[in-house]
Every structure is written in structure tokens, then in C-alpha cells.
Chains A and B, each alone.
Chain A
Amino acid sequence: MMTTILVALAMGLLGAIVFSAIGLVSGTDETATLAPLTLLVVLVGTPPAGVFAFFLAGAVAKHITHAIPTTLLGIPGDTLAVPLLREASLLRRLGVPHIALRKAISGGVLAAFIAVPVAVGAASLIAPFAAQVTAAAPYVFPVVAVLIAYFSRGRWAAVAGLLPMVMVIAALQAFVTPLHGSALSISFFLGIAIGPLVADLFGIASPTARRAMERDARRTFFLAPDVRDWRGRFPNPLRVLDRRQAGATAAAAGVSSLTFVVSPVAMTVLLGEAVGARVRHAYHRLTTMMSVKNGVTESTYIAEAIIPLVAIGLPLSPVAAGPAAPLFSAPPVYTIEPATGTTNNLHDLLTPWEFLGYGLLAVLLATLVAYPFSMNHARRAAAWVVRRLSQEAIIGTFAGLILVISVYEGGILGLLVAVTIGIFGGLMNKLLGMHAGVQFMAFYTATLFVPVLLR
């Protein structure tokens, strides 16, 4: 018991530190970073509590630090931060970018602490129906795939795109399984997560495609002016928000922690505008929306990861099928049986109480690492990343990682699968707006539903 807690503590701390750093790099995609590293943590044999703490602490920490590029540089730290851009930009032009940052991350931290217990509670309400859902799993996936596809940027194109994507995955799987001796999954997974990068690397090698990617000038970042007025080391989120803001954020977080099918971005826009319309004073509206919106993003995200994980064990939400996917399926460690839909993953290895305990521990660790850092060193950190950490180095690291992990799973075959799915999925993503979550659902449809269809 004691060792388990220590492992969770250590892994949570590791996740918080690593993803606090990754969050500073604007534009790093959630799925492309969180999924492969969590996968790695699972594969090296980390105990379940450690895996969960790593994932959740990483996600929460990344959400805190990605508010730094969003508010100080005016570029979204992640796709999740896009709904905050307007308020962030207005506050920045008013000369108070640091207020935008503080309201956002304080709302996020408050929401994270609320979301974990509410989501675990909601999950235990759904849990009695889990057996039915699991029994119908092969049929549930294609339905959810269509839903998630329709709500992606690609709309009907993404829905239609499911067919070729499922075909390609099923065909490749049928081809490699006899050659490799068992089915591959991590390589498919990596290919999907990192697809846009693979597509871009192919593009840059092609004289035709490259023309659209060429740029005349270096990219210019505008760093908001420095405003030094913070004293002390560990700020209290509840003092940064006023009472109405804390109340509104807590209420919105509570509500959004109950849902797990709407994407975090959609939920954020919906609830953010609903709260914003009730605040009369312009400045107060901006800061309240900053806090509520970031809070809702955080709570929806956590609920989408936790509810399917605790209640059902199948990745039935955009977050569960995307960044959190290794918690559900990471063969040979965590598996979902194609024939029966039975699972052997975190759902089976941790009890709801453990999810609650380690979940709160993870949020606490992320807060302890990322929150004071963001309050005290945001500007310097943002400037350092822009000046010192080249995109080339980041791409080099990830190229190496794809290579190593795919070869680890399936040797040359694994690599070929990762690259094939990468270029195909990456183009579907870029051209049709069919994001990685939709493609993961296509993967589950191909591995769970197609075999049933063929039987």
C-alpha cells in the first residue's frame, strides 16, 4: 500500500514536471504528446496507480502552463485553449496579460479539484449499466465513431472518411498479424497520434507539396509587457478569483464534470458564453469568462477521461479515445478483447475509491508544480522557449520516439504500420479535419466491430 502511494507520488510528480515543460511549447498537440509518453509509462511496467497519476498530473499541469503562451504570446498553447483567445487578447491589449493568465489558471485549478470527485461520482451512477454497454461494445464503437466524427471539424466528410480509415486499418491488421504472429496496436496508435507530423515530413520532401509549406520569414512572437506586482511564493487560487468568479467557476465545473460525450472545446464555448452573458461590467466579464472557460475545459477533460475509465473500461469519449487511450489499451499490458469486449485495463485494476484518491493526488501534485511556477515565472519561461527551444529539436525527438516505440512493438512491420497510418491519418486530419480522436474510434471499430461483422 505504502509503496503504491509512493509510486503514484513519484509518477505524478514526474508527469507534472514533464508536462509543465511541454505545455510551454505552444501548439504542442495534446494527443501527440500525452498519449505516447503515457504509453511508454505503461509499457515499462509502472503499477496502475502510477500510470493514472502520471497521466492526470501531466494533463492538469500541461493545461496550467499552456495558458502561458495563450495569454502572454497570444497563440493558443493547445487546441483546447482556442476558446480563451478572444478574452486573452482583450485583456492583453488592456495591458493586463498577467491577470488573464492568473484568472485562467486559478479557474482551472479550482475546476480540477471539483471535477475529480464529481466525475468519479457520476461514473458510479453509470457503472450498473456497464455490463450492458460492454456486452454491446462491438456495436457501440461504430456509433460513437460516427458521433465523434460528425462533431469534428470535418463534419460529414469525417463521417464518410471513417469508411476508408477503417478499411485501411482492418486490411493492414490482417496483413501484419500472420507475419508478426500477433496483432499490432501500439504502432497503429502512434501513427494516428503523430499523423500530422508524418504528413508534414512527407510534404517537405515533396517538391510539389513543399511549395505550400514554404515561408519567407522567421515567425515573430509578440511577448506582452512585463507587469511585476506579484509578491510571495505560493498563491491561493481562491484569492486570485473573487467570490462570484469562484462560485461561477465551481458551478460550471460541477455541471460539466457530469458529461463525457461533448468535446471540451464545445462545452467551454457553451458554458462560457452562458456565464458571460450574466456579468454586466466589461472587465469583470472578461476575467470571469477567462476563469470559467478555462475551468470548464479542465473539468470536461477530466470527466471525459475518468467517467468511461471508472464506469465502463471502454474509451467512449473524445478524450478517452485520444490522449487517454493508453489507459484503456496498451498491449500487452492493458488490453481490450476483440471477441468479447472484456477489458483488462485501469478500469479493472483500480477501484473507484483509488481513482478518487490518486486522482486528487495527481491534481494536487500538478497544482504544486505548475501553478506557482506559472504565477511567478510565466514571462521568463515563455521568452526562453521562444528563443532557445527550436521546433527542429522537438521534431527530432519525436521522430526518434516514433521509430523506437514502433520497432519495440513490431520491428520493421511496426515501423511500416506507424508510417503508413501516419501519412494516411495525417492527410485525413489536415485535409478533412478528421482529428485523431475520430481516427482512434476508427481503429476500435476496425478491431472490435469488423471481426464481428465477418463472423
Chain B
Amino acid sequence: MPPTVPPAPPDEGATGPNDDRTTASTTASTTASTTASTTATTDRPTDLAEVWGDVVDVRHLRWSVIIGCALGLPAFLLGRLAFEQVTSPELAETYGLLVGLAGCLLAGALCARLFAPQRDLVEEMADGAARDEAVAELTAETGDLGRAEDLGPETRRELRDLGIDDLFDPDARATAEGRAGR
């Protein structure tokens, strides 16, 4: 990706508009799809973005951060205040920290209930084509797959139990392909 994030922190008011224009043109010129997505933003029902390595709904993210901070910090401050009444200030700090942690975890649980993940799960089925592709890739790597004689009895049994011993046996593969056209 081109540096669409300006390398300087956004506090340079004078160069701000300039930065804006360059970034916009880079985005537009690099990929057509990016431009398309920008125009589609207006009527898109959700507001998706990748943050910290995963896709989130930005509106949900905003609330999550607010909830996390709003439960965590007061929990810590009030916890500390409460413990100061009954114990030494140092210990009160520590217990306050634990109450704060509990607040954060509570916030996390609440957000997990409120906001569903922006992910789709596809359960794959066993796929013969993918198998053959993998075998081809392995063959290309060293020229051959190796022979069953290279294997110890445990590994031979393992392959048989998994039902993929045929895949690694050139003769069996040839006949199987001839028979089923796999």
C-alpha cells in the first residue's frame, strides 16, 4: 500500500489541506475499487474498517472504546477511594487497580454481548481438488513425494488411518485416477 497515512502527526495545520489532496489522489489512482468503496460509503448500511488486525464496525468500535474507558477508569478511581478508607494508601492503589481490571473485563463482556463480530464463518467441506493441488505442490517441491519404504511403521499406519495413503502412493494414485477420473 502507498503511504495513505500521512507520516507526520496530524497537528500541522498549514500542510493539512495539501496532505489531504495528495492522499486522495493516490488512493484514487492506485485502485479503482478503493474509489468505488469511497463513493459507496454514503449509502452503506455498515461502517467497516480494519483496526488492530481485524474488521470492525466503526460505530460499534466508538461505543466499545467509550464503554471500556467509562467503566474501567471510574472503577479504578472509586475502588481506590473506597479502599483508602480501610487500608494503607499503597494497598488501596493496588486493590483499586484490581477493581479497575474488573471494570475493563466487565466492559469487554458487555461489548461482546452488544456488538456481534463483523466476521463470516464458512465451514469448508473436504475438497478433492484442493487435495490434488496440495499433492502437486509437494511434488513440485522436491521432484517426488518419497516412497512408503522411507517411512517407519508408525507413520505408515498414521497415513492409512487418515485414509490418505493412496495420495502418497504413485501406483495407487495412477489407478485411482484412471478409475474415478479424480
Segment 412-430 of A: residues with Cβ below 8 Å from B: 423-424, 427, 430
The answer to whether residues A93 and B48 also contact, given A221-B120, A387-B119 and a CB cut-off of 8 A, is no
A396 with B142: CB separation less than 8 A: no
B119 engages A218 (CB within 8 Å): yes
Give residues 71-100 of A contacting B (CB, 8 Å).
Answer: 90, 93-96, 99
Bound form: Cα–Cα A40–B60 in Å: 27
Quick one: given A221-B122, A431-B7, are A395 and B151 in contact (CB under 8 Å)? no
Residue interface mask B124-141, A partner, CB < 8 A = 1:
111100110111011101
Q: Mark B62-85, 1 if CB is under 8 A from A, else 0.
A: 011101110111011100000000
Given contacts A282-B139, A396-B67, contact A40 B112 (CB under 8 A): no
Query: Chain B residues near A225 (CB, 8 Å)?
Result: 123-126
Stretch binding the partner chain, chosen from A175-183, A291-299, A314-322, A403-411: A403-411
Write out the residue numbers on chain A whose beta carbons fall within 8 Å of the beta carbon of B116.
Answer: 388, 390
Complex interface: stretch among A195-203, A253-261, A435-443: A195-203
What band does the interface of chain B fall in when counting residues whose beta carbon is under 8 Å from A?
A: 35 or more
Q: Once the chains are docked, how many angstroms separate the CA of A287 from the CA of B91?
A: 51
Q: In the complex, what residues of A have CB within 8 A of residue B38's CB? A: 211, 214
A172 interface residue (CB < 8 Å to B): no
Which applies to chain A's interface (DSSP): helix, strand, loop or mixed?
helix
Q: How far is the CA of A99 from the CA of B133 in the complex (A)?
A: 18
The interface residues of chain B lying within 8 Å CB-to-CB of A96 are 162, 164
B128 CB to nearest chain A CB (Å) = 9
Number of A-B contacts (CB under 8 A): 280
Q: When chains A and B are docked, how far (Å) is the Cα of A208 from the Cα of B167?
A: 52
- Considering the chains assembled together, what is the distance between the CA atoms of A95 and B71 in angstroms? 46
Is the beta-carbon distance between A391 and B52 smaller than 8 angstroms?
yes
Q: Which residues of A contact B60 (CB under 8 A)?
A: 390, 392
CB-CB under 8 A from A396, the residues of chain B are 61, 63-65, 67-68, 107-108, 111
Q: Which residue from B52, B69, B71, B135 sits with its C-beta under 8 Å from A94?
A: B135
Which chain A residues in 378-411 approach chain B with CB under 8 Å? 383, 386-401, 403-405, 407-408
- B54 close to chain A: CB less than 8 A: yes
Is A153 at the interface (CB under 8 A from chain B)?
no
B158 with A242: CB separation less than 8 A: yes
Q: Which residues of A contact B68 (CB under 8 A)?
A: 395-401, 403
Select A223's contact among B100, B110, B121, B147, beta carbons within 8 Å: B121
Known: A95-B126, A209-B10, A393-B112. 12 other contacts (CB 8 A): A27-B53, A44-B98, A93-B127, A94-B131, A95-B131, A211-B38, A215-B48, A225-B126, A390-B111, A391-B52, A392-B63, A408-B96
CB<8 Å pairs between A and B, sample of 18: A94-B164, A208-B20, A214-B37, A215-B37, A215-B48, A219-B118, A223-B121, A223-B123, A243-B154, A284-B146, A387-B121, A391-B52, A391-B117, A396-B67, A396-B108, A401-B101, A403-B69, A431-B7
Q: Which residues of B contact A (CB under 8 A)?
A: 1, 3-7, 9-10, 19-20, 23-24, 27, 33-34, 37-38, 40-41, 48-58, 60-61, 63-65, 67-69, 71-73, 75-77, 93-94, 96-98, 100-101, 103-105, 107-112, 115-127, 130-131, 133-135, 137-139, 141-142, 145-148, 150-152, 154-155, 158-159, 161-162, 164, 167-168
